Amino acid sequence: SVPPSVVDVIPRNGARDVDPDVEVRLDFSEPVVIDSGGIEILVDSASIGFEKRVLDSNTLILKLPEGENLAGREFIIRADGRRIYDLSGLTMSDTVVSYRFTTLSLAQTGSISGHLISNIEKKELLMVEAIRDDGKFKRAVRAGADGEFLIEYLLPGKYSLFVWYDKDGDCIFDGGKVFPYTPSEPFWFPENRIRVRARWETAGEEVILD
């Protein structure tokens, strides 16, 4: 019998410049049971609390505490194989497996703030994504009820914006399907071109949605 294993982890092991608001995702090879202490998160070598939820039978999401300053920190995710086992009781391993990543430092990043101009009533369902020109960095946030938005933790560079109406509220753009035909969520590519500098907020962007 083959024991369960971790087949994927997000952020990737060794990743740098990770969004401080990241949710950690662990994908297992099969459904597992995790005893108390089976998963631990360390920030700069100190253990912290987290919320745990099951996305599906094989996937675990770890949400880091809100309100904590988690920028510019080193994270270690520890999975104790002796406390993780499949539905038949077979343990994952007799060792502790560790995954590391480092979040963006505030000193490295800037931000964009502004206002969405649109006749859409429920502006709080609009998502605003800043995409750097090289395509290697992007970050999305939900707009406020009045269309205001603030996108933090952006690496320096030139950015364009992508806006979509998040009908299902999952914060993920749904591009629709060809068969069976399902239309995409409404989306816009505003003309705004924005330069982001470290330790600087580019404020007052008026984003017009036609």
Q: Stretch 131-143: mean pLDDT, rounded?
A: 94
Task: Compute the distance between CA of residue 40 and CA of residue 84 in angstroms, rounded to an integer.
Answer: 12
Task: Compute the distance between CA of residue 54 and CA of residue 132 in angstroms, rounded to an integer.
Answer: 32
Please list, in sequence order, all residues whose beta carbon lies within 8 angstroms of the beta carbon of residue 37, skipping any fewer than 6 positions away: 80, 83
Q: Stretch 45-71: mean pLDDT, rounded?
A: 88
Buried b / exposed e over 27-53, threshold 16 CB at 10 Å, is ebeeebebeeebbbbbbeeeeeebeee
Count of other CB atoms within 10 angstroms of residue 189 = 12
Residue type present at position 20: P
pLDDT of residue 42: 96
Task: Compute the distance between CA of residue 106 and CA of residue 10 in angstroms, rounded to an integer.
Answer: 21
Task: Compute the distance between CA of residue 136 and CA of residue 6 in angstroms, rounded to an integer.
Answer: 26
Instruction: Tell me if 77 sits within 8 A of 34, measured CB to CB.
Output: no
2.40.30.160, 3.90.1300.10, 2.60.40.3710, 3.50.50.60: CATH of 6-104: 2.60.40.3710
Domain spans, the chain = 6-104, 107-208
Q: What distances in angstroms separate CA 47 from CA 61, 78, 124, 163, one per listed residue?
A: 17, 10, 35, 37
pLDDT band at 176; cut points 50, 70, 90: very high
With 90 as the cut, is the pLDDT of residue 1 above it?
no
pLDDT band at 56; cut points 50, 70, 90: confident
Task: Compute the distance between CA of residue 100 and CA of residue 41 in angstroms, rounded to an integer.
Answer: 10
Residue type present at position 140: A
In CATH, what class is 107-208?
A: mainly beta
**Same fold: 6-104 with 107-208:** yes
What pTM does this model have? 0.73
With 80 as the cut, is the pLDDT of residue 181 above it?
yes
Task: Compute the distance between CA of residue 43 and CA of residue 50 in angstroms, rounded to an integer.
Answer: 11
Instruction: Tell me if 46 sits within 8 A of 68, measured CB to CB.
Output: no
